[in-house]
Amino acid sequence: MYYSKILIPTLKDSPADAEVTSHKLMVRAGMIRQVAAGIYSILPLGLRVLRKVEQIIREEMDQIGGQEVFLPSIQPAELWAESGRWDFYGKELLRFKDRNNREFCYGPTHEEVITDIVRCNIKSYRQLPITLYQIQTKFRDEVRPRFGIMRGREFTMKDAYSFHTTEESTRETYSNMANAYSQIFERCGLSFKMVEADSGTIGGNFSHEFVVLANSGEDSIGFCDSCDYASNIEKTEAKNPPEVSEPASLEDLMEVATPQKKTIEEVTQFLRVPQKKLIKTIIFETEQGLIAGLVRGDRGINPIKLKKLVNCEWLIPASEELITKTIGLPCGYLGPVGIKLNIFADKEVSLMFNSITGANKLDTHLTGVQFSRDLNVKKVGDIRNVNEGDSCVKCDSGKLKVKKGIEVGHIFILGKKYSESMQALYLDNQGKEKPIIMGCYGIGVGRTAAAAIEQNNDEKGIIWPVSLAPFQAVILPVNFSDNTIYSAAKKIYKTLWKLGVETLLDDRSDRLGAKFKDAELLGIPMQIVVGLKNLDEGKIEIKLRKSGDSLLISFPEEIKNIPKILSNL
């Protein structure tokens, strides 16, 4: 490939809306261009990288017996009605009608379509287990598309689905998938963690995420510094708080004036008490109506854990407007005493004495609040966020670390959720009909490539791992119009392609400095500089993008060593 012939529209400046490095660099390196919010065109260089990720995924899926299929991106509403998700999925599902007024959606995921295929085409236990996968475009009308193709609305996903007759077989495939995922992300040169995860709207009851550690990530994970416990923070368990014995004196309830002191900081500073003396009351909206969640003043409430404790379908923080309108209470002074809502409290709150809460009255708080005497709590459970340094629940000595990361893959055991609702049944060896047990497994292709940039870049640009690089080597002739240089460059180019090294030849008439800059921005692992001075001595110069190291190799004899140098990077 000659540089002058391939569309690589590099830019000096990053787009104004780009917040994260990978988005900036993908646009600057001419890999992607935005067409509409969260919708991108992938240009030649970008596509070369995405194809690399896809190929690695394909190889590893095939390795564990996955069979590739290609399902439609447009899906009929009827299938989604059968699973119950047509109503449940919400606004991320892009719905539309065809000319005959029939309803469709653009698939955000493919459980319904694949379950339909399996129920129509698999009848007997003899045909199971089976794993089917595809690499395909999804559409999710994300609330906040951002970060380029990392959180797009249209994006490419590898999604796999497995079908089984027993739990045991499901777990076996799940574990093979987990291993294949680890292989995939390792081959992509990523540093990642497999963490326990919540299963979200996909459903099911057992799930892990593969999270690439990066400060720009939208997810947080908690992991132990001593054992192998690692979990999405949404799910990271807090250790049971130590028992506290009742203090000698239990105060009575008392109203105190806290004029214009609304936040935890303001109230605790004003009353000169530590934050952990306060009980925080947070109101959520659910399909069961409004509920109140209680955590200690110095803790954050965890909506995912709360949702589990409440046992509701959905849960979102209630707006100030809704709170004032529905229960007529002043935000900033909310408290659990006498509130007419179901109350769910964190374990720590149940061990608090003489605490302080809002009084459900403007400019007023209550002191001397006793959990068992004054509060009518429906359920107590672990509903707080863990913090860095908390003790690990799984081992005696470990402390939790909390780090940001990017979720690149997600695996679930779905159980019978879809097979029961959609009647995907098989005949067992007794001739009895039974629902098929399912697993599902996703990887974001573009997000994986973007995550690789987040982990591998410097001020000059991208530093591709060799496995994902759009080209592994770029030849930089000092002066392409010089005959000696021209013929040497072409010889290297031809030899390298023959040796299987995808090579770009920078045939442009620009200064060498400008060519270097572009090569560095594009992140090509190896630059090969061809100049007269070195050629005179029978040498060419190799410069490595990652380490910045240079070395001279003899020309043409040592060109054959280049694949080995690359494979050692």
Please give the residue ranges that form the binding site for ligand ATP (CB under 6 A).
109, 140, 142, 151-152, 155, 157, 200, 202, 407-410, 442-444, 446-447
Do 422 and 78 touch, CB atoms closer than 8 A?
A: no
Minimum distance from residue 113 beta carbon to ligand ATP (Å): 15
Half-sphere exposure in the Cβ direction for 450 (13 Å, CA): 32
Residue nearest to ligand ATP (CB): 444
Q: How far is the CB of 218 from ligand ATP (least distance, A)?
A: 6
Least distance from ligand ATP to the Cβ atom of residue 216, Å: 13
Q: Which is nearer to ligand ATP, 155 or 555 (CB)?
A: 155
Which one, 156 or 268, has the nearer CB to ligand ATP?
A: 156
Tell me the closest approach of the beta carbon of residue 132 to ligand ATP, in angstroms. Answer: 16
User: Which lies closer to ligand ATP via its Cβ, residue 92 or residue 374?
Assistant: 92
Of residues 280 and 410, the one with the C-beta less far from ligand ATP? 410
CB of 135 to ligand ATP, least distance (A): 11
CB of 109 to ligand ATP, least distance (A): 6
Token pair for residue 181?
Answer: 């995922």
Give 140 or 187: the residue with its C-beta nearer to ligand ATP: 140
Whether 167 contacts 437, CB under 8 Å: yes
Q: Is the dihedral of CA 383, 384, 385, 390 positive or negative?
A: negative
Residue 71 beta carbon to ligand ATP: minimum distance, rounded to whole angstroms = 15
Toward ligand ATP, which CB reaches closer, 335 or 439? Answer: 439
How many other CB atoms sit within 10 Å of the CB of residue 251?
13
Q: Which two tokens stand for residue 128?
A: 């199971």
Measured CA distances, 125 to 418, 423, 430 (Å): 18, 15, 10
Token pair for 335: 């408290």
One-letter amino acid of 300: G
C-beta of 200: minimal distance to ligand ATP in Å? 5
CA angle 538, 540, 541 (to 5 degrees): 145
**In this complex, which beta carbon is closest to ligand ATP, that of residue 109 or of residue 456?**
109
Residue in 561, 240, 132, 220 with CA at minimum distance from that of residue 401: 220
Q: Taking the alpha carbons of 9, 13, 17, 19 in that order, is the dihedral positive or negative?
A: positive
Burial of residue 472 (CB within 10 Å: 0-12, 13-18, 19+) is buried
Q: Which is nearer to ligand ATP, 207 or 286 (CB)?
A: 207
Strands 342-346 and 379-381: parallel
Cis-peptide, bond into residue 556, ω within 30° of zero: yes
**Edge-to-edge, what's the strand order for the sheet holding 550-554?**
503-505, 473-477, 526-530, 539-544, 550-554
Shortest approach of ligand ATP to residue 439 CB, angstroms? 13
Residue 117 CB, nearest approach to ligand ATP (Å): 20
Q: Which of 249, 335, 234, 238 minimizes the C-alpha distance to 294?
A: 335
Q: How far is CA 236 from CA 43, 382, 388, in A?
A: 40, 10, 11
Question: Is the Cβ of residue 23 or residue 261 nearer to ligand ATP in the bound state?
Answer: 23
Cα separation values, 92 from 139, 152, 569, Å: 8, 12, 41
Q: What is 30-90 written as a DSSP string?
A: TSEEEEETTEEEEPHHHHHHHHHHHHHHHHHHHHTT-EE----SEEEHHHHHHHTHHHHSG
Cβ closest to ligand ATP, residue 135 vs residue 279: 135
CB closer to ligand ATP out of 447 and 515? 447
Residue 38 CB, nearest approach to ligand ATP (Å)? 7
Token digits for 554? 């003899």
